[in-house]
Amino acid sequence: QLPANNNLYEEIGGQQTLSKVFGLALTRIYNDPIIGHHFTGVPKSHLRKHLTAQTCELIGGPCVYQGKDMVDVHTDHNITDKEFFILVEYVQGAMRDIGLTVEQENQILQKLAPLKGQIVYR
Ligand code: HEM
């Protein structure tokens, strides 16, 4: 682990908070009638771990994402723009429900948004 150095990461309560956010978001995502089917056979704990580390790293926390390449894991799913936004809304809703401020929410979403090009189907 690298030393922590980021205000946003510290401010929200670090990995513990991120893990709660993704735990809640993934429960909802796995049950969603439109996007839930993509996750059949994918252990929730696996995604939770990787999403937490990836987001921690993106907001300057002391984590190194050790999951697979974003294009490689998503390409076979032919994910649409609409599906992407459905998932992001669950992440946003979970941040709200866990108690992050709208400003913290937006700062985190701004870091996730640029990944869209690697996730949606072209
Ligand atoms: C900001 C949006 C997203 C982020 C940050 C993200 C991130 C990730 C990460 C970190 C993994 C784990 C990689 C690994 O296994 O090493 C993953 C896997 C996966 N993602 Fe996403 N993802 C996003 C959007 C989506 C969307 C919109 C869908 C589908 C509707 C989706 C479907 C999947 C599936 C099905 C897997 C598992 C693939 C497999 O293990 O074969 N993702 N994603």
Q: What is the ipTM of this complex?
A: 0.96
Query: Model pTM?
Result: 0.94
CATH number of this structure's domain 7-119, picked from the four choices 1.10.760.10, 3.40.50.300, 3.30.360.10, 1.10.490.10: 1.10.490.10
The average pLDDT across 53-80 equals 97
Q: How confident is the model at residue 7 (pLDDT cuts 50, 70, 90)?
A: confident
**65 alpha carbon – ligand 1 mean position (Å):** 13
pLDDT for residue 6 is more than 80: no
Q: Using a 6 Å cutoff on CB, does residue 77 contact ligand 1?
A: yes
Report which of 95, 111, 112 is spatially closest to residue 13, judged by C-alpha positions.
95
pLDDT for 3 beyond 70: no
Position in ligand 1 atom list of the atom nearest CA 38: 35
74 is in an annotated binding site: yes
Residue holding tokens 């049950």? 31
77 appears as a binding residue in the annotation: no
